Structure 1
């Protein structure tokens, strides 16, 4: 199975290291388990495989014995922790402009989560979703990112009353009181979405810290960073990323070609040149998502089958047996048994 390409700015890994150090943990041992050195944390261009990122975050939970580590890291992350994206946000003209900035450019800092802005009645929502099920790191990742972005919105507005609520899809944790203290707003659990709800009436009010010239300069740098990310990706990697972002409704070959401003024949030819095909990439993505859903979610096998675009569950079972040589129900049972032991 191919290594899925996801990223997390090394700045955030350094903050995790500092939190482990603060808690009295051994940073060197934490890194060594994932075969990462302390020197690598000073390399701003460091890109780690998704499996390594997941292992580092899982091990950080164990090293600190702190279930609220996501919140503690989120609280440490100030505006300047987000690099040029944070600088652009600090100079935004309105909260809406800030929200649109993060929606478009969050990927220059991390691709572990996607962000979509939605309007629900009197609420403007920043809704976070997982391109790949995050499993045991879901809670700390969501808590850290949502808290740091909520704090950033409070900071640039010089006011904490714009945020009406933050929402999480998981159950209320034992440290819910701490979450309430840190978020300083209503915190709702077991919700159908994850993110931040702002007062729609305040989204277009001018911000006192706004600097249009500085914002435009920062925006251009954000775009260059995003362009660089895309340029460094192979076409097959870009196709795979789009499939992960659009899961639940994978684009057809024709639609995918249109997204790249190519003809279907040209897209097919260029993928063949990279020794793959649209069909192979779709198969790989379905394989990755099937395994992660079976390990990380409570979706039924029928629901997973539907999510992956199989109209017939028997076809999904056959595909899964081809990938893993056992039925999806057996795979889930074996994985559950391994976790218990």
Structure 2
């Protein structure tokens, strides 16, 4: 299978490289080979997903630190997030800051998306995985959640403490360190990834709010989004079209026409990015299947229909290939975990 590609700000890559150096070990060969120690500042680097995964794993192996992701997340502060961090810092309320994160997080990473949902007297800030992180999933999610939690603490000036952190994997050997770094309860084996905080915090005014600076930062974020859209690879463009489509997914022929290309040209350009139409469709179906099963609003046959499968059996086989369990077993586990959280 061809590997996916995605863009990542050089600042984030430097945080990984600097953490390895800080731990007094030589840079892994993959870092040197990919010249991670010589990337120009202020740029965005396009990485193959498998190269990124291997490099993160090499960092963990070289340092011998299983909590490497947490250590990287801990050292990232508001200036690590570019204009998005600046915009959230100058927001009038937490609700406004979260809306900006939901809209512009893609300018910082395409590994996850963020959304919030009400849960009684609390709000859950949920991180949804957009790309299959496989063996470094835990490290990457820990780094992302910790750095956003630190951003939350900064803009709220500690006035609305996070109730708990939730991770969808089992407790690691360094769970005590995680609780110390997050400075709150950390729950493992949950049905979602993110953190919960008091609902009243959404409308409380933020101390650093500055309307003029906020508008300037939002405009900068908008320019970055437009630039990313113009510069986006064909994989990202096709993924966006599929996610935006209401109804059946466009065929290769229809998608090519939407881009004013021939099917042969679109196929060739996807191959140049290490993927294909079928692989992009498979990844979109996987992503949407997980989301539908988590929300529980549709039955499994309805999900199969929404995803364009001719019958439920075909969907079931595909889901077992993705997750190694059936859709019914996955949904049951999600429901049980949610009831216990």
Q: Please name the residue that 1:25 is paired with.
A: 25
Equivalent residue, structure 1, for 2:75: 76
Q: Say if 1:65 and 1:271 are closer, same or farther in 2 by CA, change over 3 A.
A: farther
Cα distance in 2 for partners of 1:43, 1:222 equals: 14
Pair 78,240 (structure 1): closer, same or farther in 2 beyond 3 Å: same
Distance 1:13 1:253, change over 3 A: same
Following superposition, the deviation at residue 61 of structure 1 comes to: 0.9
Query: Does the C-alpha gap of structure 1 residues 2 and 202 become closer, same or farther in structure 2, counting only changes over 3 Å?
Result: same
Residues 201-212 of structure 1: matches in 2 within 5 Å?
A: 201-212=200-211
User: The residue matched to 1:26 in structure 2 has which SS?
Assistant: coil
Which residue is equivalent to 1:9? 9
Match runs of 1:86-97 below 5 Å: 86-97=85-96
**1:104: how far off?**
0.8
Cα deviation, 1:261-281, whole Å, max 9, x if unaligned, reads xx9895275463743399x95
Contact map agreement 2:111 2:129 (CA 8 A) in 1: yes
CA deviation map 1:52-74 (0-9, x unaligned): 21121111111111011111111
1:174: how far off? 1.1
Q: How far off is 1:16 after superposition? A: 0.8
The 5-angstrom pairing of residues 254-293 of structure 1 reads 266-267=257-258, 270=261, 272=263, 274-276=265-267, 282-286=277-281
Ranges in structure 1 where 5+ consecutive residues have no aligned partner = 257-262, 293-301, 321-326, 333-341
What is the CA distance between 1:29 and its match in structure 2? 2.9
Evaluate the alpha carbon distance shift between residue 250 and residue 74 of structure 1 in structure 2; reply closer, same or farther with a 3 A threshold: farther
Structure 1 pair 166/132, CA: closer, same or farther in 2 (3 Å)? same
Structure 1 residue 86 displacement after superposition:
0.9
Say which is worse superposed, 307-316 or 14-23, in terms of deviation: 307-316
**What is the CA-CA distance between 1:162 and the residue it aligns to?**
3.1
Q: 1:264 to 1:113 in 2, by over 3 A?
A: closer
Report the equivalent of 1:252: 248
Tell me the TM-score normalized by structure 2.
0.77
> What CA deviation, in whole Å up to 9, does each residue of 1:146-196 have, x standing for no partner?
111111111111116431111100001111111111111121110000012
Q: Residue 126 of structure 2: SS of its match in structure 1? A: strand
Partner Cα separation in structure 2 for residue 145 and residue 9 of structure 1: 14
* Correspondence list, 1:211-226, <5 A: 211-226=210-225
Q: Distance in 2 between matches of 1:123 and 1:255?
A: 42
Structure 2: unaligned runs, 5 residues or longer: 288-299, 325-341
Root-mean-square deviation (CA, aligned residues, Å) is 3.7
Question: 3-state SS of the aligned residue for 2:267?
Answer: coil
